[in-house]
Amino acid sequence: MLIVGFGAVGQGSLPLILRHIDMRPEQLTIVTADESGRNIAAEYGIKFRVEPLTAANYIAILRRELGRGDFLVNAAFDVSSTAVLEWCQQNGVLYIDACLEPWRGGHSDLTVPASRRSNYAHREAALALRGKYPSGPTGILMHGANPGLVSHLVKEALLTLAADVGMKPAPPRTRADWAGLAMRLNVKVIHVAERDHQTTRARKRNDEFVNTWSSEAFCGESLQPAELGWGTHERHWPRDGREYNFGCGAAIYLDRAGVATQVRSWAPFEGSFHGWLISHGEAISIPDYLTVRDGGKVLYRPTCHYAYHPCDDAVLSLHEFSGNGWRFPPKQRLLREEIDAGFDELGVLLMGHKKGAYWYGSQLSIGEARKLCPHNNATSLQVNAPFVAAIIWALQNPRAGIREPDEIDFQAILEITKPYLGELVGAYTDWTPLVGRSKLYPEEIDASDPWQFMNFRVT
């Protein structure tokens, strides 16, 4: 097994890999861009090489390290997912990543049209490889917390909602079954609603980006255009909304970056909050998976997007990043050992159905995360547990071809993942994005349907 990249995902998933997979330390190698984490690799006796993968050298490095039947774990944020995935398909190597990435600088290269810098475009390029390699080794795309875990939480939430409204559907077995269930429940909107409450006494300093996961990866994806799955119930086209002229057609993008776009959302502990509409793969894969078609006509699709409120120091970092004209600061700090309190509240919020809104997800404290697995905070463990669960699924199903999270066994993933998620909470709420706004901002809302995107957007 070759682990490419050794930041929050690589460091935090390594002890889980060794705990759950029957591998000897000498069977693993880490190739990464810098010295970060060398001491953790040494703690477990893992080979560690500082050798950044680039478009010029990745084939030579992969040939040196991997053979048929081996596994490439792509935990890097600046290595092209599509390039290394195709090499794996050609050479019989299993593959996983936590999100789809371009080569370094690809997110912020403004010479590339916004539609082609999007997660939508990266996903289309990766899925196109299915046609070239229809019976290749298992390659799992975008399987961390989100994208990844949230697709499985959506399925479990749909089953709970169906039971609670008195429906008794046959257990869904196919994509069409799941899409039909979501349509019958009238789920109009799905948010990945996350509020990170972790804190530290070592507060953010000037010219420093502080975050509970990779600051560079966060800034990179925040500069992509805001992307969202576009539901069939929507009747107000965004003034800056743009359609893609290629691909599945399940999503749109806004002519502005995610870091400059906020939305209203809700989580059980936090209540109502403003989150950033950061571009993520699940905003396309989930609504695409849940689309109901009659021939070429789309009958049903939910609106879907991320609503992310990072930890307080990351919010300050994001404001400084924006105020400095998107200049990435020279210093960055991953919050892990110095976190002294708090938890990460990450779940899916299903809205528009008979019971209003239902949030289902993980509330994992920093204290519990540390007890469950070393070298993690609450945020990283929510990513790394499903990441490793998907590696296990791939090892058990080595000839499954290229798969997205929505296309693998949600029960198998959750069985491994749930012990690492802290308290799993399901909560109904009568909250809507119109709460407290109808009299103050009548020109900004559609009071006849609270679940319109224009009502969620912070203008």
pLDDT at 112 over 80: yes
Tell me, yes or no, whether 27 lies in a domain. yes
* 128-146 average pLDDT score: 97
* 189-204 average pLDDT score: 96
Query: Of 140, 160, 191, which marks where a domain is finished?
Result: 140
Residues 177 and 108 reside in one and the same domain: no
Contacts 24+ apart (CB under 8 A), 287-290: 287/190, 287/229, 287/230, 287/231, 287/250, 287/251, 288/229, 288/248, 288/250, 288/251, 289/151, 289/175, 289/178, 289/179, 289/404, 289/406, 289/407, 290/178, 290/179, 290/182, 290/183, 290/187
For residue 11, give both structure tokens. Answer: 């460091």
Residues 125 and 158 reside in one and the same domain: no
Residues 161 and 260 reside in one and the same domain: yes
pLDDT at 200 over 70: yes
pLDDT at 109 over 90: no
Half-sphere exposure of 286 (CA within 13 A, CB side): 36
d(CA 11, CA 18): 12
Tell me, yes or no, whether 420 lies in a domain. yes
pTM: 0.97
Residues 288 and 369 reside in one and the same domain: yes
Tell me, yes or no, whether 368 lies in a domain. yes
Comparing 59-73, 98-112, 319-333, which segment has the lowest mean pLDDT? 98-112
Query: Of 140, 158, 186, which marks where a domain is finished?
Result: 140
Read off the pLDDT band of 259 (50, 70, 90): very high
> Which sign does the torsion angle of CA 130, 121, 457, 236 carry?
negative
Top pLDDT among 187 and 440 is at 187
pLDDT score for 438: 63
Residue from 405, 400, 402, 394 nearest 129 by CA: 402
Residues 176 and 274 reside in one and the same domain: yes
pLDDT score for 439: 65
Structural domain of residue 207, as residue ranges? 149-383+416-458
Residues 80 and 116 reside in one and the same domain: yes
Give the other-Cβ count within 10 Å of 238's Cβ: 19
pLDDT at 170 over 90: no
Tell me, yes or no, whether 389 lies in a domain. no
Residues 44 and 193 reside in one and the same domain: no
Tell me, yes or no, whether 398 lies in a domain. no
For residue 132, give both structure tokens. Answer: 């070239």
pLDDT at 111 over 90: no
* 268-296 average pLDDT score: 97
Half-sphere exposure of 324 (CA within 13 A, CB side): 16
For residue 139, give both structure tokens. Answer: 């390659």
pLDDT at 297 over 80: yes
| 143, 386 contact by CB (below 8 A) | yes
Comparing 10-24, 392-406, 431-445, which segment has the lowest mean pLDDT? 431-445
Q: Supply the CATH number for residue 133's domain.
A: 3.40.50.720
Q: Give the mean pLDDT of the chain.
A: 96
Query: Of 99, 123, 140, which marks where a domain is finished?
Result: 140
Read off the pLDDT band of 275 (50, 70, 90): very high
What share of the chain has pLDDT > 70, as a percent?
98
Residues 93 and 183 reside in one and the same domain: no
The model's pLDDT over 355-364, given as tens digits with 9 standing for 90+, comes to 999 999 999 9
Residues 161 and 298 reside in one and the same domain: yes
Amino acid in position 217: A
Task: Please list, in sequence order, all residues whose beta carbon lies within 8 angstroms of the beta carbon of residue 193, skipping any fewer than 6 positions away.
Answer: 265, 266, 267, 275, 307, 346, 347, 348, 349, 359, 361
Query: Bridge partners of 365?
Result: 343
Amino acid in position 214: S
* 222-236 average pLDDT score: 97
Q: Supply the CATH number for residue 337's domain.
A: 3.30.360.30
* 365-375 average pLDDT score: 98
Read off the pLDDT band of 337 (50, 70, 90): very high
Residues 237 and 257 reside in one and the same domain: yes
Residues 160 and 111 reside in one and the same domain: no
Measured CA angle at 161 (ends 357, 140), to 5 deg: 95
Residue from 421, 437, 427 nearest 149 by CA: 421
Site of tokens 């507060």: 203
Tell me, yes or no, whether 337 lies in a domain. yes
pLDDT at 107 over 80: no
The model's pLDDT over 407-459, given as tens digits with 9 standing for 90+, comes to 999 999 999 999 999 999 999 999 999 998 766 666 678 989 999 999 999 98
pLDDT score for 371: 98
Tell me, yes or no, whether 348 lies in a domain. yes
d(CA 175, CA 406): 8
Q: What is the largest CA-CA distance in the chain?
A: 65
pLDDT score for 441: 64
Read off the pLDDT band of 150 (50, 70, 90): very high
The model's pLDDT over 57-90, given as tens digits with 9 standing for 90+, comes to 999 999 999 999 999 999 999 999 999 999 999 9
Measured CA angle at 102 (ends 30, 82), to 5 deg: 80
Read off the pLDDT band of 106 (50, 70, 90): confident
pLDDT score for 443: 67
Task: Please list, in sequence order, all residues whose beta carbon lies within 8 angstroms of the beta carbon of residue 295, skipping any fewer than 6 positions away.
Answer: none
Residues 12 and 158 reside in one and the same domain: no
Give the other-Cβ count within 10 Å of 290's Cβ: 27
d(CA 191, CA 201): 31
Counting the structural domains of the chain, the total is 2
